Chain A
Amino acid sequence: MLREATRPSGIIVSYFSLRNTVVPADSLVKITDIYFAYDERAILNGITMEIPRGKLIAIMGNSGCGKTTLLRLIGGQLKPTGGTLLVDGQSVPDMKHAELYAMRRRMGMLFQFGALFTDISVFDNVAYLMREHTDLPEEMIRDMVMMKLNAVGLRGAHQLMPSELSGGMARRVALARAIALDPMLVMYDEPFAGLDPISMGVIGQLIRKLNDALGATTLLVTHDVHEAMQIVDYVYFVSDGRIVAQGTPDEIRASADPFVHQFVFGEADGPVHFHYPAAYFGLDLMRKGAHG
């Protein structure tokens, strides 16, 4: 059954029931009651979630609900204003620069539009991390890069420059780069944004296969419900900086929760209102001088 959590207390309840049922106790990422604000604007209002090892977890929500912010908090690029955030048992906000970089070496991240280095070739993009962080001989790097590129089906494109790739290919190269050093945690920020259905399916299947093949843990941030539901193990729905619903894809599909229903079926009006808050419409129409 779908657990709902619209208030902080609800989140804590669902958190404990979650621990006992679906998610094994050993979690790679453990977020407890986290808050974040840009200046005065609150982005996250007490989010609690666990990402178990080896699983593929999706965070969904409408644009601007704080999904990407959550990824940046996990990566240590932003510091939360409250709450605790543990990755592999270590508190990310308390890490020093060197510790943070040591942790990031074990993380891979795919950015929304790939963020490939535009001045070097596909091969060099994937080899980048190996050259930066290891002293491996060039032949070995070549073999590893070819293996990664083969996994995403782009071994034949290794000589191309990023500007010569299509959107879907660029995303696959970025995927190969993200898994270059076999990370423990791979984070995807909107991997399906702006792709055609075929590329989308390809990327979706790759994400699933790579997660299982590498034994990694994957965190997927997306608003593409249908694509994500086919591949993930568990879904968190975020709205207004809170987790409003969570469950396995089957639970989500069967959900009667109005927000989930609106989101999954893409309805224009529902708990997320179509209209920006405004006074009674009639008042605006009756206003004197409205017709100039």
Chain B
Amino acid sequence: MAEKSFSALIELVRSVGHRLNSAVQRLGFAARFFVMILVYSGQSFRRLHLTIREIYFSGFQSLLIILVSGLFIGMVLGMQGYETLQRYGASEALGVLVALSLTRELGPVVAALLFASRAGSAITAEIGLMKATEQLTAMDMMAVNPIARVVAPRFWGGVISMPLLAALFSAVGVFGGYLVGVVLIGVDEGAFWAQMQGPETSAMTSGMAW
């Protein structure tokens, strides 16, 4: 009996060790891959058209979903924000509420999630297909580094497009808040825009930086 429980314990330790080991291995692989992308990034900038093409595919082609989602999230914020603020007679602060919550929190996060699901999955499918049909091996055999030629331009295309998309998301969101708050409900337009320029919104850029 004791022997049985001892072997079960060994099995437990072994499986935990195995999981930990493979997790560290995956982490190491990802880190190494990332470093490789940085090391082989030269070509993405020397031959800028490679990166620009990726900005078009992952950035520009994500615009529609980003703008539509931004607009609706801004409209919801305007609507719900007004409901709460007007109870305390502070409905003029609607502009600040919408702008801050979008630029600081929602904008970058939701835009990033949308970008990952739209552009990220497209890139994954594209590279997966290239791998499965031996295109990457063929490239490597032709003395063309697949990381430099395929992966790095897509990485930098994403790095460049993402902040722009987040900014556009927030801008369109604020406009959505304006549509609901000012145009539909009738909050004072001057207060809506003017309060947005107050000192507390100087931290607006912090969300963008993140």
Q: Which residues of A contact B (CB under 8 A)?
A: 75, 77, 100-102, 104-105, 107, 109, 111-113, 115-119, 128-129, 132-133
Q: Evaluate contact between B140 and A115: CB separation under 8 angstroms.
A: no
B interface residue numbers (CB < 8 A to A): 126, 129-130, 133-135, 137-138, 140-145, 149
Interface of B is mostly: helix
**Please, how many angstroms separate the alpha-carbon atoms of A280 and B176 in the complex?**
80
Which residues of chain B are within 8 angstroms of A128 by Cβ–Cβ distance? 142, 144
Q: How far is the CA of A101 from the CA of B147 in the complex (A)?
A: 14
Q: Smallest distance from the beta carbon of B35 to chain A beta carbons, Å?
A: 15
A113 contacts which chain B residues (CB < 8 A)? 133-134
Please name the residue on chain A nearest to B138 by beta carbon. Answer: A115
**Chain A positions within 8 Å of B142 at CB level:** 104-105, 109, 128-129, 132
Determine whether the beta carbon of B135 is less than 8 Å from that of A118. Answer: yes
State whether B138 touches A111 (Cβ < 8 A).
Answer: yes
Q: Judge whether A111 and B143 touch: CB under 8 Å.
A: no
CB-nearest residue of chain B to A119: B126
A115 to B137 CA separation, bound complex (whole angstroms): 9
Question: Do the beta carbons of A77 and B137 come within 8 Å of each other?
Answer: yes
Report B-chain residues with C-beta under 8 Å of the C-beta of A129.
142, 144
Is A101 touching B143 in the complex (CB atoms < 8 A)? yes
From B130, B133, B143, contact of A105 by CB (8 A): B143
> Smallest Cβ distance from B62 to chain A, in angstroms?
19
Other A-B pairs, 12, CB within 8 Å; known A109-B138, A133-B143: A77-B140, A105-B143, A111-B137, A112-B134, A113-B134, A115-B134, A116-B135, A117-B135, A118-B130, A119-B126, A128-B144, A132-B144
A219 to chain B, nearest CB (A): 13
Q: Which residues of A contact B145 (CB under 8 A)?
A: 101
Query: What chain A residues lie within 8 Å of B133 (beta carbons)?
Result: 113, 115, 118
Task: Write 17 A-B pairs (CB below 8 A) sorted by A numbering.
Answer: A77-B140, A77-B141, A104-B141, A107-B141, A109-B142, A113-B133, A113-B134, A115-B135, A115-B138, A117-B130, A117-B135, A118-B129, A118-B133, A128-B144, A129-B144, A132-B143, A132-B144
A132 to B137, CA, bound (A): 16
Instruction: Flag if A102 contacts B134 (CB, 8 Å).
Output: no
Residues of B within 8 A of A112 (CB): 134
Do A75 and B143 touch across chains, with their CB atoms under 8 A apart? no
Question: Could you say which residues of chain A place their CB within 8 Å of the CB of B135?
Answer: 115-118
Question: What chain A residues lie within 8 Å of B129 (beta carbons)?
Answer: 118
> Which residues does chain B contribute within 8 Å of A118, judged by CB atoms?
129-130, 133, 135
When the two chains form their complex, are residues B143 and A102 in contact, meaning their CB atoms are under 8 A apart?
Answer: yes
- Complex Cα distance, B130 from A113, in Å, reads 13
Q: In the complex, how many angstroms separate the beta carbon of A258 from the nearest chain B beta carbon?
A: 35
Smallest Cβ-Cβ distance to B133: which chain A residue: A115
Least Cβ distance of A222 to chain B in Å? 17
Kindly report which residue of chain A lies nearest to residue B141, judged by CB atoms.
A109
Whole-angstrom CA separation of A104 from B141 in the bound complex: 6
Rounded to whole angstroms, the CA-CA distance of A77 and B142 in the bound complex is: 11
Q: What are the nearest 4 A-B pairs in CB distance?
A: A115-B138, A101-B143, A104-B143, A115-B134
Chain B residues, Cβ within 8 Å of A116:
135
